[in-house]
Amino acid sequence: MNASSPSFRQLGRSGLQVSPLCFGGNVFGWTVDEATSFALLDAWLDAGFNFIDTADVYSRWVPGHTGGESERILGKWLQRSGRRQQVVLATKVGKDMGDGKVGLRPEYIRAAVEASLQRLQTDYIDLYQSHDDDADVPLADTLGAYADLIAAGKVRAIGASNYGAARFKEALLTSERLGLPRYESLQPLYNLCDRAVFERELAPLCVAQEIGVINFYALAAGFLTGKYRSEADAGKSPRGAKTVSTYLNPRGLGILQALDSVAQQLGAQPGQVALAWQMQRPAITAPIASASTLDQLQQLMAAAQLRLSADDLALLNAASAEPGARD
């Protein structure tokens, strides 16, 4: 790592050491072609970052795609680069892949992990995550399947995404009661615009249980970069219209104003400040953010070097406060 490399953080109690930012791999094979993906991944590791998150279902939502596109690109890069040992590689299982391939049944998990390993061209996954809760399958069955994968050396640690507080707590209790591996990480929606749901119940639980939190939509689908400031900006990206309709309101504009103020003082960009705020939250291990160009990636990585003052944090907390959120 170089002199400005970020300091690593432990992910839960897993022993995995991860960079304070995680690269979101949903863009690989979707908005980023293979060659650009390789360049982005090389630059990410060259700068001292190591954490990469994907899922088997990425990017099935694209017309003509079947899922697995992101994992395949990552697999090709891992083989060509020879840098597998430098990467903490996270992927997920459970979203609908078609043909009945969905959920967290043990037999499906066993088949899905083999498919992911093949696409990723590796013999182990550092962090294997339940992409969604599956209320139709007993938690003990799902966790038992993961225990087998860990014992076989195919998975190092497990995590969960999109779990509510009650079910996540139940999963942790099930692991403790039955002596099964526990979810060491949680991947919730969290950013300056979306605070209350995570902070009200999940954050205290994660802090108390030493769970690593790797939140998605860290930039609110691009809104917190400041590029969507009016209805006219909706056409700036494939997800622009949805982003504008969700976040472009008085509170959202107030958050952007606070970000602009802090960014101006620090000589930074609004999106960098938004990520720095998250990295300084006590419950957060590594926000997940994606980039589709090298310039965007450099902007992301620079956020890990920002340090916000108490006044900066207070301004952002006040602008983003919502009912049920905690500062």
> Could you list the active site residues?
58
Report d(CA 132, CA 194) in Å as an integer: 19
| Closest of 224, 254, 222 to residue 241, by C-alpha | 222
CB distance 300 to 289 below 8 Å: yes
- At 159, list the tokens: 């995590």
CB distance 14 to 22 below 8 Å: no
| Closest of 129, 133, 182 to residue 14, by C-alpha | 182
Report d(CA 163, CA 57) in Å as an integer: 18
Structure-token match 């209790």, residue found: 173
Torsion 107-108-111-112 (CA) sign? negative
Distant-in-sequence, close-in-space partners of 119: CB < 8 Å, separation ≥ 6: 56, 68, 71, 72, 74, 75
Radius of gyration of the chain (CA): 19
Report d(CA 15, CA 98) in Å as an integer: 34
CB distance 193 to 224 below 8 Å: yes
- Alpha-carbon distance values, 260 to 268, 307, 308 (Å): 9, 16, 13
Render 209-259 in DSSP notation, one character per residue. Answer: TT-EE--B-TTGGGGGGT---SGGGGGGSTTHHHHHHHH-SHHHHHHHHHH
